[in-house]
Chains A and B, each alone.
Chain A
Amino acid sequence: MALRELSSLEKFLGSNKPNKYRTQGDKKVPVLQNNKGRPVVGLVTIACHLAKEAKRPELVGDSAESRAVVQQWLEHRITKVDGCKKEDIKTILKDLDHYLQDKVYLAGNQFTLADIFMYYGIHPLIVDLVIQEKEQCVNVTRWFNHIQHYPGVRHHLPHIAILRNSIYSSRQH
């Protein structure tokens, strides 16, 4: 999973030749073999490294504040969303929904790695939602739909149909 995400990120960043990765340990932590120096270990660390190599530092955040917000959501993704138990899914989506109430992207008004990797991470949760559940988290589904249509992000994941919010659907009746 992690390697596919990194490969999609590379395509998003428009890199010409794919990097070589391996995984280590039971948790299959991704490792980027870097011929220049020490290996780069971990999904978040490699993603930030790739963004900087591609001269896209704004994806990691362009101020101390946005960098901290981006790191926080990336950590949230790998510690709370990954491997979450079924009973935690509701809380994860509800928290995210409240958070996104007044935001376009996770770091506010700027698209960052946090959006890409939270999108990859919650894709399996959104796939399983029925329409009513999607309607209960309109902010998440709005953001999710926005990110899946963001140029060059979706790659390895199937598109998920998101209905418009209940105001629109009730008009059709």
Chain B
Amino acid sequence: MKLFVSEGNPHCLKAVAALEVTGVNCEVQYVCHQERAVPFFDHPVLPAMLLSSGMYLFGSNAICQYLFEERRKESNQLCIQWLEWEATELQPALLQALHMAVLQGKGSEVSKVLQGPLKHLDQSLIKGNTAYLTGETVSVADVVLWAALYPFLSDSSLGLGEQKSVKTWFDRGAAMHGFQSAAQKVLQGKGLQGMKSYMQMQPAPQSSQCRDTQPCKS
């Protein structure tokens, strides 16, 4: 089993965090952003994981899910629901926020873009009333969302600390040794700026995504 990641790639932070938190034994190879680690893709896709059967996993959430299943138990319905929400609702907003904060120097405007998803997360945590997203123990959903939000929520200058339940939940993750070590490895303690070289290679977010994630001005 081998995990391919690149420094400063926010999706790789998820995979390395899941590896550290689960403690699964797996070789990690750091490659450049342009590395074509998955043989059936003509373009770079990271993170990627080569399984012992020879199959490749190329989705960061699927890699995290696999690592959790190796160690613990099958992802339940609530985990799958959070992973789907992360991929379809949170990621487009995060991509836009990263673009603004890392490349355009508009960190102060990030809270507008992330307001909607953070509010949803906050309300779900209040409603669920558990320490973690899917219950009283850490699940793959927590690790994926912690890692996805880490660059923003660990930066107090962005003013994203309004939602108390999100903050309490996030601080639980940020305090975990495995998580800190993953953040140090992938972002080198540079926070948002650690992702600059990665972001410079990404296409600008589509304008339709910008529309979707901005609050209505009615």
Are A and B bound to each other? yes
Interface size counted on chain A using CB atoms at 8 A: 30
Q: Does A155 contact B (CB under 8 A)?
A: no
Asked whether, in the complex, the Cβ of B61 is within 8 Å of the Cβ of A71, the reply is yes
Q: Number of residue pairs across A and B with beta carbons under 8 Å? A: 84
Q: Does B121 contact A (CB under 8 A)?
A: no
Chain B residues within 8 Å of A29, by CB: 88
Chain B residues within 8 Å of A72, by CB: 57-59, 61-62
Q: Does A128 contact B (CB under 8 A)?
A: no
Q: Does B177 contact A (CB under 8 A)?
A: no
Asked whether, in the complex, the Cβ of A44 is within 8 Å of the Cβ of B84, the reply is yes
Interface size counted on chain B using CB atoms at 8 A: 30
Cβ 8 A contact of A95, one of B41, B55, B61, B85: B41
The secondary structure that dominates the A interface is: helix
A154 to chain B, nearest CB (A): 25
Residue of B nearest to A41 (CB): B81
Chain A residues within 8 Å of B88, by CB: 27, 29, 42, 78-79
Stretch at the interface among B69-77, B104-112, B148-156, B162-170: B69-77
Asked whether, in the complex, the Cβ of B81 is within 8 Å of the Cβ of A40, the reply is yes
Asked whether, in the complex, the Cβ of A68 is within 8 Å of the Cβ of B66, the reply is yes
- Known A72-B61, A75-B62, A75-B87; 10 more pairs at CB < 8 Å: A49-B77, A65-B51, A65-B55, A67-B66, A67-B69, A67-B75, A68-B57, A69-B62, A71-B62, A95-B40
Enumerate the 8 nearest inter-chain pairs by beta-carbon distance, A residue then B residue, closest first: A72-B62, A64-B69, A68-B66, A98-B40, A72-B59, A42-B84, A45-B81, A99-B40
